[in-house]
Amino acid sequence: MQIWVIQTLNSLSLGGLLFMLSSGFALIFGLMRIANLTHGALFMLGAYVAATVVRAGYGLALAALAAAVAIAIVGGLIERLILRRLTGNPQGQVLATLGLSFVAADFCLMVWGGDPIPINTPAMFRTPLQLLGLSFPTYRLFVLAVSIVSAAALYLLIERTRLGAMIRAGVDDMQMARAVGIPASRLFTTVFCLGAGLAGLGGAIGGPIFNAYPGLDGEMLPLALIVVILGGVGSLVGTFVASFVIGFVYTFGIALAPDLAYVILFLPMVVVIAFRPTGLFGRAIT
Amino acid sequence: MTQRAWLPPLVLLLCLAVFPLFAGEYFVNLGSQVLVAAVFASSLNLLVGYAGLTSLGHASFLGLSAYISAWLAVRMGLGHAVTAPAALLLTTLIGMAFGWIALRATGLGFLMLTLALSQIVWGVGFRWVSLTNGDNGLSGLTRPQPFGWNLEISNNYFWFSLIVAGLSVFLMSRFVDSPFGASLRGTRDQPRRMSALGFNVWAIRWVAFVVSSFFAAVAGLLYVYFHKYIHPSVMSISVSAEALLSVIAGGSGTIAGPLLGALLVVVMKNYASAYIERWNMLLGFVFVFIVIFMPNGVVPGLRHWTRHWRKDSP
């Protein structure tokens, strides 16, 4: 029983982290038609920034804030300095982000070295929660809570604010949105910062679970891609559902059949693609 | 096609054929690696240049073919006469399945699907230790000896690769010059019109995907024979990216482009890693540079230039 509780919580926290990673990816893709392949590297960079701040003696809360802000700025710079030059060339943009992901990964290796840097779980989350004779790892619950809060905040932002209305208008019809005076340029940069910041926050919060290590980007990017493909591009609800589906499939896959975890990951994707090429909740990818 | 179009490739082949007689062993081995990369990049070019489908997962076919032949040799003790055709056949079959999945989308969706599929293959290579020996890779492989020709000698292996590469590139150029190739370019430029004309756009793209995976499998065999060792990193995204860089830097949609691009990338990689550790960073920067400043690649640029030159001097 205990093992199932742990695995379920692991699945839920991985799902939450995947949501933070893929919702930013999906937002950027939905609005700007850019498949941002640096997203995995931004997640890893977030984990490294958080590890550095924690090692300097500050708490995880500050580390997470620092990571989110720093990665948001990096994202904004990428958008302004590089992707902006390639407007109207989606293939060029994707290749540029691919190139940047190599640069970022090698940069992390250069600065932080090849050994994994552990991030200590904050003291208040170290003792597991005892309930009904079972123990629940507190930090996993905390990660789940953070991801649900950020999902709710994102939902409110998109559905209830002026910025969100502009984003929705841009996703639906960019030309029309420009025509009615929506400042597309500023909107793009804002959304890119937001998406990158979410990835950085996810990396920081996920830090105590994964540690910061080279290769974390390659571990996370495919999961995020599969989530976005499964959930359907441009659908926040789809991304949310798919994140938790993949969280469960991957965690239980590793626990029950470690050799086959990646093959098992493959199956839901193939099934969904076969019957609903646009993903669970999405529309056609063009 | 002009009448003398066969002349430059023939001169190139002859120059390459005598190359080992003058060059030292280091350069001959480097040349063999360029030939492997050239076949691989050319196979990717069928998709990127002629079908207009940017794939970020091509390394999975190179790796699958290499792994299948290595696995059959090491675990099953089979000879090269069986492993090579089996690797080509199985990889092409997997290419059929992957093509069916990835071509559910086009454009960026296709790119994301190919990337996701190849990352899964890469993960299987690393994680399914009982099958692939994981991070240790498969070693203890041999090169084949066709008709008693000893390929363990570097010069012989270079000539062998040259024959295979020459034949592959010739077949691929025939493929894209054929009526089917014309319809493939049609689906790249005007998919809706092709569809209205009664062409099955999806099927044309799928056939191109399968042919492309077959030639990537050929490159995989050349790769595993050369190194006599195989590691999961051969299926990683950076290998796919290097091939894509070769295609784009050389000039996609031309036969010569990927060959020149493969030469540039392999030579740059060898020299760069001799002096600095940061090959991946350099690769990334070169990628960004090429995409921003030379989006059409070297060969179309040169062609443009020679056309100007010919116009000036009749």
Percentage of chain A beyond pLDDT 70 is 97
Q: Per-residue pLDDT for A258 more than 90?
A: no
Angle, vertex CA B268, rays to CA B263 and CA B270, nearest 5: 100
Let me know: does B194 contact B187? Beta carbons within 8 Å.
yes
**One-letter identity of residue B226:** F
Domain count of the fold of chain B: 1
Q: Which of residues 83-102 of A touch B (CB under 8 A)?
A: 85-86, 89-92, 94-96, 98-102
Whether the pTM exceeds 0.90: the reply is no
Read off the pLDDT of each residue in B276-294 and give the average, rounded to a whole number. Answer: 83
Q: Per-residue pLDDT for B308 more than 80?
A: no
pLDDT of amino acid A39? 92
Q: Per-residue pLDDT for B313 more than 50?
A: no
Let me know: does A117 contact A204? Beta carbons within 8 Å.
no
The reply to whether residue A221 touches residue B284, judged by beta carbons under 8 angstroms, is: no
Confidence of residue A257 (pLDDT cuts 50, 70, 90): confident
Q: Per-residue pLDDT for A286 more than 70?
A: no
Question: Residue B155: how many CB atoms within 10 A of its CB?
Answer: 17
Percentage of chain B beyond pLDDT 70 is 95
Distance between CA atoms of residues B36 and B168, nearest Å: 11
Let me know: does A94 contact B111? Beta carbons within 8 Å.
yes
pLDDT of amino acid A164? 87
User: By CA distance, what is A32's nearest residue in B?
Assistant: B108
Residues B12-30 have pLDDT tens digits of: 888 888 888 888 888 888 9
Let me know: does A218 contact B119? Beta carbons within 8 Å.
yes
Q: With the CA atoms of A175, A196, A99 and B274 taken in that order, what torsion angle do they form, in degrees rounded to the nearest 10?
A: 170
Nearest to A103 among B113, B130, B284 (CB): B284
Across chain B, mean pLDDT equals 86
* B105 contacts on A by Cβ (under 8 Å): 277, 285
Among B299, B215, B290, smallest CA distance to B256 is for B299
The sign of the dihedral angle between the CA atoms of A97, A100, A104, A106 is positive
Distance between CA atoms of residues A182 and A84, nearest Å: 17
Domain CATH number, residue B41: 1.10.3470
The distance of B162 to chain A (nearest Cα, Å) reads: 31
Domain residue ranges of chain A, discontinuous segments joined by +: 2-118+140-275
Q: Which 3-state string (H, E, C) describes chain B?
A: CCCCCCHHHHHHHHHHHHHHHHCCHHHHHHHHHHHHHHHHHHHHHHHHHHCCCCCCCCHHHHHHHHHHHHHHHHHHCCCHHHHHHHHHHHHHHHHHHHHHHHCCCCHHHHHHHHHHHHHHHHHHHHHCHHHHCHHHCECCCCCCCHHHCCCCCHHHHHHHHHHHHHHHHHHHHHHHHCHHHHHHHHHHHCHHHHHHCCCCHHHHHHHHHHHHHHHHHHHHHHHHHHHCCECHHHHCHHHHHHHHHHHHHHCCCCCHHHHHHHHHHHHHHHHHHHHCCCHHHHHHHHHHHHHHHCCCCHHHHHHHHHHHHHHHCC
Let me know: does A206 contact A17? Beta carbons within 8 Å.
yes
Nearest to B288 among A82, A228, A233 (CB): A82
**One-letter identity of residue A63:** A
Among A40, A94, A68, A35, smallest CA distance to A224 is for A40
Residues A40-77 have pLDDT tens digits of: 999 999 999 999 998 888 888 899 999 999 999 999 99
CA atoms within 13 A on the CB side of B3: 0
Residue B302 lies in a domain: yes
Q: A277: helix, coil or strand?
A: coil
Let me know: does A47 contact A177? Beta carbons within 8 Å.
no
Across chain A, mean pLDDT equals 86
* A105 contacts on B by Cβ (under 8 Å): 280
CA-based R_g, chain A, Å: 19
ipTM of the complex: 0.81
Nearest to B280 among A89, A106, A274 (CB): A106
Alpha-helical runs (H) found in A113-215:
138-160, 162-172, 174-179, 184-210
Confidence of residue B172 (pLDDT cuts 50, 70, 90): very high
Read off the pLDDT of each residue in B245-269 and give the average, rounded to a whole number. Answer: 88
Q: B309 or B216: which carries more pLDDT confidence? A: B216
Distance between CA atoms of residues A39 and A36, nearest Å: 6
Q: A12: helix, coil or strand?
A: helix
Q: Per-residue pLDDT for B54 more than 60?
A: yes
Q: DSSP readout, A236-255? A: HHHHHHHHHHHHHHHHHHHH
A32 touches chain B (CB under 8 A): no
pLDDT of amino acid B314? 43
Let me know: does A64 contact A237? Beta carbons within 8 Å.
no
User: By CA distance, what is A34's nearest residue in B?
Assistant: B108
> Which tokens go with A59?
């708490």
Residues B76-115 have pLDDT tens digits of: 888 888 889 999 999 999 999 999 988 988 888 888 889 8
Q: Per-residue pLDDT for B71 more than 70?
A: yes
Q: DSSP readout, A32-65? A: H----TTHHHHHHHHHHHHHHHHHTT--HHHHHH
Distance between CA atoms of residues A28 and B249, nearest Å: 27
Residues B203-221 have pLDDT tens digits of: 999 999 999 999 999 999 9
Confidence of residue B282 (pLDDT cuts 50, 70, 90): confident
Residues A137-192 have pLDDT tens digits of: 888 888 999 999 999 998 899 888 888 888 888 887 888 888 888 888 888 899 99
Q: Which CATH architecture has domain A2-118+140-275?
A: Orthogonal Bundle (1.10)
Q: State the best of B273, B280, B293, B296 to mutate against chain A, taking most chain A CBs within 10 Å.
A: B280
* A37 contacts on B by Cβ (under 8 Å): 115
Q: Per-residue pLDDT for A266 more than 80?
A: no
* A261 contacts on B by Cβ (under 8 Å): 123, 127
Residue whose token pair is 């993903």 = A279
Domain hosting residue B190, numbered range = 7-312
Distance between CA atoms of residues B169 and B39, nearest Å: 7
> Which tokens go with B297?
């690649």
pLDDT of amino acid A127? 74
Lowest mean pLDDT among A125-139, B53-67, B223-237: A125-139
Residues A70-114 have pLDDT tens digits of: 999 999 999 998 888 888 788 888 889 999 998 999 899 889 888
